[in-house]
C-alpha cells in the first residue's frame, strides 16, 4: 500500500545553485547527498517534513553527471523542472507487482538501489497520465507491515 509522497524529483543543470535557491527561498536544508553512478546523477535530498507512517517527504534535486543518463537526456529535451513523483511503500516488490497486474508498465523487472540505500522502481509515464512515477521502500524497511528499520526517502537514481 502506498503510504505517502516520498519525494518530488527535480532535474537541474547546477545542483549547488539549485540547493542554494531552495535553502535561501524556502529554508529547506540538505538531508543527504550522493552520486549514483548507475543512474548517472549527483543528487541532494532536502527534507520537507515527517509523515504519519514514520517516513518523510523530500525534494530530490538531480544533476546529471553524464549526458547519456536518463536525467541528462530528459534535461536536454525538457529543461529544468519536475522530473518525477515518488510514492513511499513498505513493500516495493508487492506493490509494483500489484500495479503491474493492473496493466501499468513497471520499468524494472526487479527493484534497484535508490538514494540512501532505498529500493525503487519506476512506472511508465504513458500509463500514468504523463507522469514518471517512482515507487520507493526506504532502507531498513521490510515486509508489508513496514515496522522494522528506518523510514526515509527513496530516490531516482
Rounded Cα–Cα distance for residues 28 and 47 (Å): 7
Q: For this structure, is 60 an active site residue?
A: yes
The cell 497520465 sits on which residue?
129
Instruction: Give me 81's grid cell.
Output: 523542472
Q: Which of 39, 43, 63, 83 is catalytic?
A: 43
Distances (CA, A) of 132 to 29, 51, 147, 151: 25, 22, 28, 23
Q: Which of 39, 63, 83, 134 is catalytic?
A: 134
**Nearest CA among 86, 84, 76, 82 for reference residue 13:** 76
Q: For this structure, is 43 an active site residue?
A: yes
Q: Which of 39, 60, 83, 156 is catalytic?
A: 60
Q: Which of 39, 63, 83, 84 is catalytic?
A: 84
Q: Which residues are part of the catalytic machinery?
A: 7, 43, 60, 84, 134
Amino acid at each position: 500500500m502506498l503510504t505517502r509522497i516520498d519525494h518530488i524529483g527535480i532535474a537541474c543543470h547546477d545542483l549547488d545553485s539549485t540547493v542554494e535557491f531552495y535553502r535561501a527561498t524556502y529554508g529547506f536544508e540538505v538531508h543527504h547527498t550522493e552520486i549514483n553512478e548507475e543512474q548517472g546523477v549527483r543528487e541532494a535530498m532536502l527534507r520537507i517534513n515527517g509523515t504519519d507512517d514514520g517516513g518523510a517527504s523530500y525534494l530530490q534535486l538531480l544533476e546529471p553527471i553524464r549526458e547519456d543518463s536518463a536525467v541528462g537526456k530528459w534535461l536536454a529535451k525538457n529543461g529544468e523542472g519536475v522530473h518525477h513523483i515518488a510514492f513511499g511503500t513498505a513493500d516495493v516488490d508487492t506493490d509494483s507487482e500489484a500495479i503491474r497486474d493492473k496493466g501499468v508498465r513497471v520499468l524494472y523487472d526487479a527493484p534497484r538501489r535508490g538514494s540512501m540505500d532505498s529500493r525503487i522502481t519506476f512506472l511508465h509515464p504513458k500509463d500514468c497520465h504523463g507522469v514518471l512515477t517512482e515507487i520507493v521502500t526506504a532502507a531498513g524497511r521490510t515486509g508489508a507491515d513496514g515496522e522494522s528499520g528506518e523510514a526515509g526517502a527513496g530516490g531516482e537514481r
